[in-house]
């Protein structure tokens, strides 16, 4: 799991990347103003797990790298590269886009079902009204 916080020009954004069982899931959290250390810790301790657990998407397939012993100098170079990297990875962008599309589909499905129920209800009211008019006084 990794948390990357960066400034996108307007807001401070946190990108959480989680790899579980060869699947990458990415989440986006908007901090707003520049977050203090206490705000980040509060996010990690209280909001992070809720954000991950409410996810509906399955994630993208990724190759899991074997945990071989890494030369300390190489590790230092990798850490420096990660620190200098701004933004999010392409895989994370794909994972977030996939989750967005899945949420969009479910939202469309719910709204369509709601519209159909409303239409059915209006039809029944109209039918009942016509029946009462037909009965007379």
Distance (Å, rounded) from C-alpha 89 to C-alpha 15?
A: 10
- Coil, helix or strand at residue 11: coil
DSSP string, 29-71: EEEESPPPHHHHHHIIIIIHHHHHHT-----EE-PPPP-----
pTM over 0.75: no
Please give the chain's pLDDT, 137 residues, in tens: 888 888 888 888 888 888 877 788 888 888 888 888 898 888 888 888 888 877 767 777 777 666 788 899 998 998 888 777 766 667 777 778 888 888 899 999 999 999 999 999 999 999 999 988 888 65
Domain boundaries, the chain: 2-108
């Amino acid at each position: 799991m990794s948390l990357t916080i960066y400034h996108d020009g307007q807001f401070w954004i946190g990108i959480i990347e989680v790899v579980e069982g060869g699947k990458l899931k990415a989440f986006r959290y908007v901090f707003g103003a520049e977050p203090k250390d206490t705000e980040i810790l509060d996010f990690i301790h209280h909001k992070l797990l809720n954000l991950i657990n409410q996810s509906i998407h399955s994630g993208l397939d990724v190759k899991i790298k074997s945990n071989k012993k890494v030369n300390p100098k190489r590790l230092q170079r990798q850490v420096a590269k990660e620190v200098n990297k701004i933004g999010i990875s392409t895989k994370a962008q794909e994972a977030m886009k996939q989750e967005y599309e899945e949420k969009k589909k479910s939202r469309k499905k719910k709204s369509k079902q709601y519209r159909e129920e409303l239409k059915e209800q209006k039809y029944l009211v109209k039918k009942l009204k016509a029946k009462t008019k037909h009965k007379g006084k």
